[in-house]
Amino acid sequence: MPSKDRYHRTYPVSWDQLHRDSRALSWRLLDMGRKWERIVAVVRGGLVPAAVIARELDIHFVDTVCISSYTIRDQGEMSVLKKLEGGGRNWLIIDDLVDTGKTARMVRQMLPEAHFATVYSKPDGRPLVDTFVTEVSQDTWILFPWDSEVQFVEPLVQNRHEE
C-alpha cells in the first residue's frame, strides 16, 4: 500500500489557481467541438472542478460517482459508495486529479464511453484520462485548497539544511 513516504514534493494549489486551471480545462473541452450532455463528478475532489466546468460549458445535468480511497495521504481500499451506469456517450467525467489510476479504472469500467478529464495528472494515471491541464511528478502531493490553510512556510533553502 502506498504511503505518505512516497511523496517528496508538495504542490500547493490555491482556490484561485484551481478556478483558473478548471477554466483552462473547460477551454480544452470546448475546443473539441462536442456537445456534452452531462457531467459526472468523481466525489469528492471532482466536485469543485465539475461546478466550474458545468458553468463554463453551460451543462445543467451534473451527477456524481462516489468512490472512497484516500485517508489523508494514504491510498487504501477502494470503496464504491455510489455508481452510475449507462455507457457515458457524450458524458464528461471530471476529477481533480488522476494519481495512480485506481479510481480512474473503476470509473472507466462504469462509464466506458465517457470522456475522462482531470485538472491535474500524474504519470501513472495519465494513460487513463483523455484530457488534463497540468502534470506533476508521481512523487508530488497536490495540496488542494480544501485541505489547507494559509500559514508561514520556511524557505526551501532552510528545509534543505535540516535534512
Neighbouring residues of 71: CB distance < 8 A, sequence distance ≥ 6: none
The angle at the Cα of 54, spanning 49 to 58, to the nearest 5 degrees, equals 155
Residue 96 designated active-site = yes
Please report the pLDDT score of residue 131 as a whole number.
98
Q: What is the mean pLDDT of the segment spanning 41-48?
A: 95
Average pLDDT, the chain: 90
What is the model's pTM? 0.84
pLDDT over 60 (residue 73) = no
CATH 3.50.50.60 is held by the domain 4-162? no
Residue 150: the pLDDT is 81
Q: Above 80 in pLDDT, residue 74? A: no
Of 94, 106, 102, 96, which is closest to residue 124 (Cα–Cα)? Answer: 102
Active site residue 31: no
Options 5, 21, 74, 99, the catalytic residue: 99
Q: What are phi and psi of 74, to 5 degrees?
A: -100, 135
Q: Angle 47-56/15-31 helices, nearest 10 degrees?
A: 50
**Helix, strand, or coil here: 29?**
helix
Instruction: Give me the catalytic one of 58, 63, 95, 130.
Output: 95
